[in-house]
């Protein structure tokens, strides 16, 4: 019988995520994160997935519009939100680890 994936909610979030190339952010531990803007029909959400991607390698691309509208950096603020390089606040909708891959979803807060 196949083992089910192990999904664990995480409460320790990256201290910062800094842009390193199209669609690629890097955290304080030099781990790379791929971003994807999600269309929820309302609030702006961004999915970030921690991926094994060599630092400085820009092989993954997205549209210019998506990459140019993303903040250059997110910094952890008050433990459960991020403030971006444009002064906007993002709440952490969820942050989980499934097997060896982390996934985090951030949502732009209305009062930003």
CATH 3.30.750.24 at 7-108, yes or no: no
Residue 64 phi/psi, 5-degree rounding, is: -60, -40
pLDDT score of 60: 40
Torsion of CA 9, 15, 19, 21, to 10 degrees: -60
Position with higher pLDDT, 22 vs 61: 22
Q: Furthest-apart CA pair in the chain: how many Å?
A: 49
Q: Record the pTM.
A: 0.78
The residues spanned by each domain of the chain are 7-108
Per-residue confidence band for 40, with pLDDT thresholds at 50, 70 and 90? confident
pLDDT in tens, 76-111: 998 889 999 999 999 999 999 988 889 999 999 987
């Amino acid at each position: 019988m196949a083992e089910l994936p192990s999904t664990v909610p995480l409460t320790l979030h990256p201290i910062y995520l800094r842009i390193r190339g199209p669609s690629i952010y890097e955290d304080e531990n030099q781990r790379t994160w791929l971003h994807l803007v999600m269309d929820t029909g309302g609030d702006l959400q961004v999915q970030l997935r921690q991926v094994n991607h060599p630092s400085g390698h820009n092989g993954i691309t997205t549209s210019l519009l998506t990459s140019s509208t993303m903040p250059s950096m997110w910094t952890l603020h008050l433990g459960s939100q991020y403030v971006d390089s444009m002064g906007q606040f993002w709440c952490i909708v969820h942050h989980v680890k499934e097997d060896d891959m982390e996934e985090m979803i951030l949502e732009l807060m209305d009062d930003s």
